Structure 1
Amino acid sequence: MDHNDLSARELAARIRRGELRASTVIRDTLDRIARVNPQINAIVQDCGADAMAEAEALDRRIADGQQVGVLAGVPVTTKVVSDQKGYATTNGTRLFQDVIAPQDNPFLRHMRQKDAIVVGRTNTPAFSYRWFTTNAMHGETKNPHNPALTAGGSSGGAAAAAATGLGHIAHGTDIAGSIRYPAYACGIHGLRPTSGRVPQFNHSGPDRGIGPQIMAVSGPLARRVDDLRLGLEAMAGYAPDDPWTAPVPLIGPTFRRRVALVKRPGGIDTDPRILDDLDRAAALFRAAGWEVEEPTELPDLREAVQLQIDLWLSDGHEAKLAQAEQEGDAGAIALLRHYADRAAAIDVARFGEIFARRSALIRAWRGFLEDYPVVLMPVSGELPFQQDEDLRGGDVLTRLWEVQLPQIAIPLLALPGLSVASGVVDGIPSGVQLVAPPWREDICLEAGELLERGFGFPALLPR
């Protein structure tokens, strides 16, 4: 049998019951990686030897009657931007190729406590700045549906790995759409948790700047929404090495099943196929008895994008640009130079204004989500970009950042967001985004499963 035909939950259950051996599952996954990965370059660091040793040890524990975790024997991948003990945390760069992690990032520590097994580490663009996954250190990750398209970024390797069955659950990170967009581009699902839900800290390097601390998150990508749920359960929780984490329950109180349908958030142009996806999703909600409305007013998203850019790219801009130029990465250089004048205008007073406005926007959105616990909107205003489209000049880069507004704004607002695959037409994936109140990933996942049943499960590539 192909283990990818089972959900992560069912696979782990069969391993716990002794119906499958973890070592067999991991060996089969590593064999699939050897066959498939050379065509897409999703996994760029091999964890095979460690994975087999962990699987064999897990089999012995099960044979001895010991209790094992909810992800017992489930193959997973991690992104090279995050620490995994004994492996280089390259962040897609040659500059960091010798930065070896002394211990696991806390999200991975939690996953290992649940007996997940890492089979490989996935690619990211240099410094994780782009929606395109290619770099001089690890090379280019191909979109498994269409090599002319981006696999997304920055978790493009994670999305491509999950789409092709190179692990049931892929770890990604997201500060401006880096989980949701690659999932969208590769035709799978991706969950950006609430800021503080999943702990993260790299012991291999210094603390991050304030923007990444309050906006960047780790989360799961997978072909099944329930795999995202299980992945979140395994990653989440309080950790002393991440000062932003909080031990908030994963399941919240009952909520009104009311959806705000927003087809053109911030007034962006939205591709007709995406508009059709949104209408199909709205019809699925209505058929299931949910209320769906198109509100005439929506709290601001455009300002949230501007504040996100200032907190992420402007803080420490000179050092970021110097590193990008030292690495010689064209994509990172193009992005940072594009915002250089803006970054130069930021001063201490402006940072105070940014945080005051951020509080006001968060307050407005929390109030809106009291009335509409689910917002249904695009992931992007366009279908997946052509590979390296951001290198075609400043005007193109401006357009790309414009159509990505629905995903860039959400991190500033500290809200969870779920990218749900809607299908693949003529080799081009698409999907929709669901946004819920803070700490209510359970609402995103419930709504996402409803859409998954209507849209259909993403196909495994290749069969």
Structure 2
Amino acid sequence: MTDKDIWQLSATEIVARTKDGALTAEEAVSAAINRMERINPTLNAVVDSCAADALERARELDKARAAGVPCGPLHGVPVTIKVNVDQKGYATTNGVVAFKDLIAPEDAPVVANLQKAGAVVIGRTNTPEFSFRADTDNPLYGRTHNPWGRHISPGGSSGGAGAGVMAGVGALAHGNDIGGSLRFPAAANGAVTVKPGLGRVPAWNPSQKVERGMLAQSMSVQGLITRTAEDLHLSMPSLIEPDPRDPFHVPLPWRGEPLDGPIKVAFTKNTYGYDLHPEVEAALDTAREALVDAGYQVDEIEPPDVFDCGRTGYRALMGEVWTLMKDDIDAYGSQTIRDIFAVYFQEFPPFTGAELVQMMAKRSHYARAWALFTQEYPLVLTPFLPQPFFKPDRDTEGAEGVHEVLGCAVYSYAMNFVGLPAACVPSRLAALPRGPQPINVQIVARRWREDLAVDAATAIEARVGRMSDALWQRLD
């Protein structure tokens, strides 16, 4: 097999070959590194190469297999890790110049779990300053570019992860999501992801000096961005393995009990007053048709109020950020990120004092409404954004820019606030005047049922095809 034949393989395909001996871990990792070294100079998705360590680890995996040691479920799969998560011996910069020498003393749970499963880390991916933009640029590493073209932002904050994996830099890309940071890059680049629900993936950074705020703890989750939905079924069971350093992790299996069919899906095009672009509407219709053809019962019905939930949740999060992070942003952030946060605080006026505590308490009200709704409708098909993905630096263009980037993204951060799983999958490639770009939809699932969301994403992908196939025709 040539390098191209190898780096284009999905994680599922790699594992099938490394386990039966048709491909060595070293070959899989070498092909991914060569791809990274070829294309990353134009993307700037990976900002810290782990190539030397990766090749050494791959050779160790091959020796262990030859000696009869059982292979892990991700044996030889090349992966990337976002630079805001600890990987022993590497800097956890979070895109901030002042943190460029913050070397991690140990691996975070997600890194440990991936490596325990046999995955090999080939590089660390870019994020905006403090991982708090839906675009990816910072003074430490510079801008990440979308492989579809520079007319589209790569998304954020896991923008390096999304751009890299879609361009063939590794088969799996780690990311995290407090308001959309897995799903924004998936939507921008045409990748697939599932934002896990609260408590599903163990999380903690050994380098951190203080504990995170309560909303950061309850809204932020760790996950993976992939090129195909089946790779989520392959890899997420390893990611959710318990780690005692996260005392609130819930050790449930990846697959839940089968539901009596047909599974009911609530379907909505409601964008709460924001204009629904025809291409987004077409993507939603395609996703609905795919699910119907796959045997789901899809009913057009309104779920609980996403706008009120999302705006309340993000205003509460901004209240926590104002209280716990603003001093660091002012001290260590660039003028660009300080200006963006100033507009965030206008778009989402922070709750403070007693009102912040009251709105944090109200979180259970919204979560209860969704819990009751998903008893009848275990899945909910929604827009992700009402418009095609925005251009780079749109969030630097004042109130109008931030409103387009985050203000209208209520379907995104509402799911963080209530802690529900939400998959994001491409269902259309739009031909727009500024150039082609994928359009993703969102699939919300009942609590603890990430597997159902990924099953639905798989059904949509079966109708549409893998977006990476269309992308690679343009890149190569």
Structure 2 length-normalised TM: 0.93
How far did residue 23 of structure 1 move?
Answer: 0.9
> Residues 235-314 of structure 1 correspond to what in structure 2 (within 5 A)?
235-255=239-259, 256=261, 257-295=263-301, 297-314=302-319
Task: State the alpha-carbon separation in 2 of the partners of residues 408 and 267 from structure 1.
Answer: 17
How far did residue 148 of structure 1 move?
Answer: 2.1
Matched, 1:215 2:219: yes
Matched, 1:6 2:6: no
Given residue 294 of structure 1, which amino acid in structure 2 is its aligned partner?
E
2:416 counterpart residue number? 411
Tell me the alpha carbon deviations over residues 129-157 of structure 1, each in whole angstroms, 9 at most, x when there is no partner. 11110000111000100112100000000
1:439 counterpart residue number? 448
8 Å Cα contact 1:374-1:436 kept in structure 2: yes
SS in structure 1 opposite 2:84?
coil
8 Å Cα contact 1:18-1:62 kept in structure 2: no
Tell me the alpha carbon deviations over residues 93-131 of structure 1, each in whole angstroms, 9 at most, x when there is no partner. 112111110000101111111010000000000001111
Task: State the alpha-carbon separation in 2 of the partners of residues 110 and 290 from structure 1.
Answer: 33
Task: State the alpha-carbon separation in 2 of the partners of residues 265 and 416 from structure 1.
Answer: 20
Percent of paired sites with the same residue: 36
2:334 counterpart residue number? 329
When residues 202 and 311 of structure 1 are mapped into structure 2, their CA distance, relative to the original with a 3 A threshold, is farther
When residues 160 and 316 of structure 1 are mapped into structure 2, their CA distance, relative to the original with a 3 A threshold, is closer
Task: State the alpha-carbon separation in 2 of the partners of residues 140 and 293 from structure 1.
Answer: 42
1:398 counterpart residue number? 403
Task: State the alpha-carbon separation in 1 of the partners of residues 122 and 142 from structure 2.
Answer: 19
> Residues 7-406 of structure 1 correspond to what in structure 2 (within 5 A)?
7-205=10-208, 206-255=210-259, 256=261, 257-295=263-301, 297-317=302-322, 320-340=325-345, 346-347=352-353, 349-406=354-411
How far did residue 288 of structure 1 move?
Answer: 2.2
Indicate the RMSD between aligned Cα atoms, in angstroms.
Answer: 1.6
Q: How many residues align?
A: 461
8 Å Cα contact 1:194-1:441 kept in structure 2: yes
Task: State the alpha-carbon separation in 1 of the partners of residues 281 and 310 from structure 2.
Answer: 22
When residues 253 and 337 of structure 1 are mapped into structure 2, their CA distance, relative to the original with a 3 A threshold, is same
When residues 421 and 316 of structure 1 are mapped into structure 2, their CA distance, relative to the original with a 3 A threshold, is closer
How far did residue 249 of structure 1 move?
Answer: 1.6
How far did residue 265 of structure 1 move?
Answer: 4.2
How far did residue 330 of structure 1 move?
Answer: 4.1
8 Å Cα contact 1:268-1:402 kept in structure 2: no
1:422 counterpart residue number? 427
Given residue 386 of structure 1, which amino acid in structure 2 is its aligned partner?
K
Task: State the alpha-carbon separation in 1 of the partners of residues 95 and 204 from structure 2.
Answer: 17
Task: State the alpha-carbon separation in 2 of the partners of residues 364 and 331 from structure 1.
Answer: 38
Q: Which runs of 5+ in 2 are unaligned?
A: none
Please identify, of 335-344 and 66-75, the stretch whose mean Cα deviation from structure 2 is larger.
335-344
8 Å Cα contact 1:12-1:74 kept in structure 2: yes
Structure 1 length-normalised TM: 0.96
How far did residue 267 of structure 1 move?
Answer: 4.1
When residues 345 and 35 of structure 1 are mapped into structure 2, their CA distance, relative to the original with a 3 A threshold, is closer
How far did residue 331 of structure 1 move?
Answer: 4.3
SS in structure 2 opposite 1:459?
helix
Task: State the alpha-carbon separation in 2 of the partners of residues 339 and 131 from structure 1.
Answer: 12
Task: State the alpha-carbon separation in 2 of the partners of residues 73 and 245 from structure 1.
Answer: 27
Task: State the alpha-carbon separation in 1 of the partners of residues 351 and 231 from structure 2.
Answer: 44
Tell me the alpha carbon deviations over residues 64-118 of structure 1, each in whole angstroms, 9 at most, x when there is no partner. 1111201000000000010000000000111211111000010111111101000
How far did residue 352 of structure 1 move?
Answer: 2.9
Given residue 278 of structure 2, which amino acid in structure 1 is its aligned partner?
P
8 Å Cα contact 1:23-1:59 kept in structure 2: yes
Task: State the alpha-carbon separation in 1 of the partners of residues 138 and 59 from structure 2.
Answer: 35
8 Å Cα contact 2:47-2:141 kept in structure 1: yes
Task: State the alpha-carbon separation in 2 of the partners of residues 72 and 264 from structure 1.
Answer: 43
Given residue 170 of structure 2, which amino acid in structure 1 is its aligned partner?
G
8 Å Cα contact 1:330-1:391 kept in structure 2: no
Tell me the alpha carbon deviations over residues 11-68 of structure 1, each in whole angstroms, 9 at most, x when there is no partner. 1121122221111111111111110000000000110011001001001001111112
Tell me the alpha carbon deviations over residues 157-184 of structure 1, each in whole angstroms, 9 at most, x when there is no partner. 0000110110000000001110011101
8 Å Cα contact 1:380-1:406 kept in structure 2: yes
